[in-house]
Amino acid sequence: MRDVAIIGIGINKWGELWNKSLRDIYVEAALNAIDDAKIEKIDAMYVGSMAPGLFVGQEHLSSLLSDYLGHGPIPTTRVESACASGGLAIRQGFIDVASGMNDIVLVGGVEKMNDVDGATATDALASASDSEWEAFHGITFPGIYALMARAHMMRYGTTRTHLSQVAVKNHENGLLNPHAQFQMKLTVDQVSNSAKVADPLRLLDCSPVTDGAAAVIMCPLDMAKKISKNHAIVKLSGSGHATDSIALHSRADLTTLNSTILAAQQAYKMAKLGPKDINFAEVHDCFTISEIIISESLGFFEKGEGGRAVERGETSLSGKMPINPSGGLKSKGHPVGATGVAQVYEVVSQLRGDAGKRQLKNAKRALTQNMGGSGGSSLVHLWEVL
Ligand code: COA
């Protein structure tokens, strides 16, 4: 297997992008990545996108996007694993380059979610839950995560305030991110008293509905050392991918994300690293409770301690384990297929020392964790700057 590096990254401003189509926002992010890498051609492309058919009526996405990108009849593949589609596309690109099949691979992610009304978007998202046993009976993702939150609160003493503190922290970080959808400061009271969506989760506990795209360029590490003159080189050191039952009722424990635990074990083993070696992480905070459970599942904190770690400030930009310096899904936004790729955009920016006002002091090794549905799939990747 060849070592793999990232030589280009691109993104666009996320939000409600009424004057741009899905193909516009994808091409914008992909061209930014190609420009950043200073390359003339790409050999293959992977695109993470969860439900373009439901959101904008467009399937056969990979051919459409490579055509509009103008890079010729290269092999292109759309990758789908619900909200983990972007993370899975990263893994497919990694396998492609590591295997020697292709040298320069563009991995992008995109979702345009605001062209349909809120109820249709909620139904489209709910198609990533167990449609017979969950969605059919009316539960949507805020409801599913509310069950997980309630169980975590009852078992470990996690409080309403802990949930709010996750949102406050991520919005504070998002204020420093020019690409973020919601650049606004929040207080604990504002989050705790925002409109109830599914008790105990409130509006400001939820990631929003977002239009956006992100892209990265991968190549063999040896090639990156020769062609990448303007940036520090970031190596992809570990990759893990695991699945779990989609339906919550099939799981032994609502407060544990087994797919994330297993994916993290694989990634740590491949990179010969452990949680203590990681300086910061971008994780899938689709709801405030998910960031708390994920931080435990990745081994950053003991089981049940995730909420109290946020309270102690350990996950803030100046804490000992900064989580979601980009603002996370909560503030940056969550265009589902793009999220896993945008996490890589953020860690590469940080590892290069290019993250502007939200730059972390000690950014040498990073982790990205991207999750489908309520944890039916998880991807964990580890990154090191050379
Ligand atoms: N965070 C912060 N503000 C939000 C927000 C969010 N998540 N969602 C909406 N808002 C704001 C809007 O900008 C709007 O503000 P305005 O009145 O100043 O314009 C206001 O809240 C109402 O927005 P609206 O779009 O009408 O809200 P909604 O009730 O239709 O949707 C949610 C709110 C939380 C239900 C929706 O964002 C949602 O479903 N989020 C979860 C998405 C999801 O499940 N993703 C997959 C995860 S697995």
The CATH number of residue 58's host domain is 3.40.47.10
In testing the pocket of ligand 1, which one of 209, 257, 259, 332 has its CB within 8 Å of the most ligand atoms? 209
- 3-state SS, one letter per residue, for 256-321: CCHHHHHHHHHHHHHHCCCHHHCCEEECCCCEHHHHHHHHHHCCCCCCCCHHHHHHCCCCCCCCCC
178 close to ligand 1 (CB < 6 Angstrom)? no
Give the pair of three-digit tokens for residue 298. Answer: 């990745």
145 close to ligand 1 (CB < 6 Angstrom)? no
How many angstroms separate the alpha carbon of residue 210 from the centre of ligand 1? 9
DSSP label at 195? P
User: Please, which residues have CB within 8 angstroms of residue 111's CB and are 6 or more apart in sequence?
Assistant: 22, 49, 50, 51, 52, 55, 210, 211, 212, 213, 335, 336, 337, 338
How many angstroms separate the alpha carbon of residue 37 from the centre of ligand 1? 35
Nearest-CA residue for ligand 1 atom 20 is 203
Residue 385 confidence (pLDDT): 98
Within the chain, which residues score under 70 in pLDDT? Answer: none
Quick one: how far is CA 301 from the chain centroid? Answer: 20
Quick one: how far is CA 202 from the chain centroid? Answer: 21
Catalytic residues: 83, 334
Q: Are strands 44-48 and 4-11 parallel, antiparallel or unpaired?
A: unpaired
Residue 375 confidence (pLDDT): 98
Give the pair of three-digit tokens for residue 231. Answer: 């940036």
Q: Does one domain contain both 147 and 161?
A: yes
Nearest-CA residue for ligand 1 atom 2 is 204
Of 227, 260, 289, the residue that ends a domain is 227
If one counts the domains in the chain, the total is 2
In testing the pocket of ligand 1, which one of 206, 246, 248, 285 has its CB within 8 Å of the most ligand atoms? 206
Nearest-CA residue for ligand 1 atom 33 is 203
Other C-beta atoms lying within 10 Å of the C-beta of residue 284: 29
Give the pair of three-digit tokens for residue 250. Answer: 């099939």
Q: Does one domain contain both 98 and 24?
A: yes
Question: What pLDDT digit, counting tens, does each position of 239-286 carry?
Answer: 999 999 999 999 999 999 999 999 999 999 999 999 999 999 999 999
> Which domain does 170 fall in, by range?
127-207+237-385
Q: Does one domain contain both 45 and 169?
A: no
Question: What pLDDT digit, counting tens, does each position of 292-315 carry?
Answer: 999 999 999 999 999 999 999 999
